[in-house]
Amino acid sequence: MSDYVSSTSFAELPLSEELRRGIGDRGYTTPTPVQAAVFGPIFAGRDVICRSKTGTGKTAAFGIPILERIPGGTRKASALVLCNTRELALQVSQELEALARHKNISVIAVYGGAPMGVQTQALQAGAEVIVGTPGRVYDHIRRGTLKLEDARVAVLDEADEMLSAGFYEEVTRILDHLPSDRQTLLFSATVPPDIEQLATKYLRNPETILLSGDVYTVEHIKNVIYYVVDQYPKPRNLLYLLEREDPESAIVFCNTRTDTELIANVLNRNGLDAEMLNGDLPQKERERVMGKVKRGELKFMVATDIAARGIDISDLSHVINYSLPEDPSVYLHRVGRTGRIGKKGTAISLVSGAELVTLTALERNFGIQFEKRSLPTPDEAKSLWTELRMKELRDAMTAGAAFEAYLPLAQDMAVREDGKQLLAYALRYFFTHHRMEKAQARAAGEKLLQSHQVEQVHKEQKRARGGHDRERRKPRMERAAESPSDRAEKAAEPPSADRVKLYVSQGSDQGWEKDALAAALAETAAQPRDTVFAVDLKPRYAYVLVQPGSEGAYVAASGKPLRDRPLTVEIARPKKR
């Protein structure tokens, strides 16, 4: 059993139908090992200390059994979750709210930087689950706006980071205000001595569950270094690195707030869409930036380590260290933002001078093997920059949008004195908004794909509870790849008005990523790129949702070569039962 895949099914856990629906709505099919390991003790009311590495699904691990245990409809605080950052508190509250959407359970997030009055009104209205940062939670306790006499469960999420950030006093004061017979859950990526000291004082005969911790390694992540070239400034090194790597989305980590502002400005001046995230930003601005990143509308978020723990950004492809941290363990927390829940990711670092000490410690103490790459020359970087943007323009042209009416304007601009400035502005506008349009289209497609997956999850859960054999109890989206003979046994799937599902004979084993496969299929079938709504990528094949009416062209592309292999495209059909 790995850290990311469990042999247990959610259908095997004693859950209410309302919570099963919430789990299905999230697209969850099989628990991660930490979720499977802690469910029993938490559900039984035991205190728990759990060590599990970054990115293994800890929020749902404590959230699911807590939401099953606490009573709904009381609007009294039954569970308190403490988080070390505002972003994590907001994220955890959103996750718990989504899981509890079919139960009569309300969730409130309270954290510093947001108006106290709004939070006070929400607390007066009442909620069963309170999620917050220690400082703001204690403020509400002290003011009498948060009453915890009915609390049954307390959770310390990312406990090691919370205590290392100096919250020990606030945490202990809060725990002292809770009923003495409460259940206490402590989740952490590491278990240092101050965690053990806290557990000794506040946990009663806890069950200790030690899964893989961040102290060892972060799997599924390729670690790459570029040595800084002293002939030009370090921000220029970063620009050349980005031209060579061309990440789909990335967090750029800096050691200081000043560097975040500098790098965000440099990236924007050079046509790379970036926003900074650090402790100086007002809370609303921080939430706006995080929202853009999660929706895929922003390519680069430049951040200090305030974003390094607990923030979950789906499908983040790269983490980039503008500077390596002095503490090697912080490197593990940073790169844990990619490679979430077993997905692959890449961590790239610029290295120079004193940072070689950190690099040596990571290699020697954590066994991390770094791939060394070389920066392009200035001329190579300029050529890469041009070719990437020319390709994006050409791809947009072939998507079907009419542009011929603008050719006379383009000719006039070419001879105007200010024509280059106008063209540069138009290009900047295009690249910024084209990314947002692609993100919106991708989100719409993923929503369609998720709705299909949710239907399958609900069917599988119902089947498993009906007593089918163990193989039938595996959710369909988690089953092994199908053979051609399996597909021959399928019957036609009921038609859908808003999408058509196709089977495609190539997957991640052939080196495909979702967007690249979608673009290649559209080109092979001579269809606009936006006719592909979403791709569900498997190792040896993929399911693709396409626009109704275009499926004939895609099926007709069967037999054409794609990556030196004949392509097979069929209308997807479920197995006979």
At the topology level, CATH places domain 443-571 in Alpha-Beta Plaits (3.30.70)
Rounded to whole angstroms, how far apart are CA atoms 249 and 315? 8
Q: Note the pLDDT of residue 108.
A: 94
At the topology level, CATH places domain 221-378 in Rossmann fold (3.40.50)
Burial annotation 304-315 (CB, 10 A radius, 16+ → b, else e): bbbbbbbbbbeb
Tokens of 362: 């990571």
Tokens of 33: 């090992």
Name residues of the chain where pLDDT drops below 70: 1-8, 53-55, 212-219, 306-315, 337-344, 398-401, 434-497, 574-577
Tokens of 442: 């991708």
Residue type at 495 in one-letter notation = P
Domain 10-210 architecture: 3-Layer(aba) Sandwich (3.40)
DSSP string, 416-461: STTHHHHHHHHHHHHHHHHHHHHHHHHHHHHHHHHHHHHHHHHHHH
Nearest to 463 by CA among 451, 450, 475, 454: 475
How many other C-beta atoms can be found within 10 angstroms of the C-beta atom of residue 166?
10
Q: Note the pLDDT of residue 326.
A: 86
- The DSSP code for 132 is E
Rounded to whole angstroms, how far apart are CA atoms 192 and 164? 10
Q: Note the pLDDT of residue 66.
A: 95
| 10-210 and 443-571: identical CATH topology | no
Residue 406 DSSP SS3: helix
Q: Give the H or E element holding residue 139.
A: helix 134-143
Q: Note the pLDDT of residue 309.
A: 53
Rounded to whole angstroms, how far apart are CA atoms 271 and 246? 13
The widest CA-to-CA distance across the chain, in whole angstroms, is 80
Rounded to whole angstroms, how far apart are CA atoms 171 and 163? 8
Rounded to whole angstroms, how far apart are CA atoms 358 and 332? 12
Q: Note the pLDDT of residue 484.
A: 41
Domain ranges of the chain: 10-210, 221-378, 443-571
If you average pLDDT over every residue of the chain, what do you get? 81
Q: Note the pLDDT of residue 312.
A: 59
Q: What is the pLDDT of residues 369-388, one digit of tens each?
A: 899 998 888 888 888 878 87
Q: What is the pLDDT of residues 251-299, one digit of tens each?
A: 999 998 899 999 999 998 887 888 988 877 777 787 788 878 777 778 8
Q: Note the pLDDT of residue 496.
A: 54
Q: Note the pLDDT of residue 396.
A: 75
* Contact call for residues 241 and 217 (beta carbons, < 8 A): no
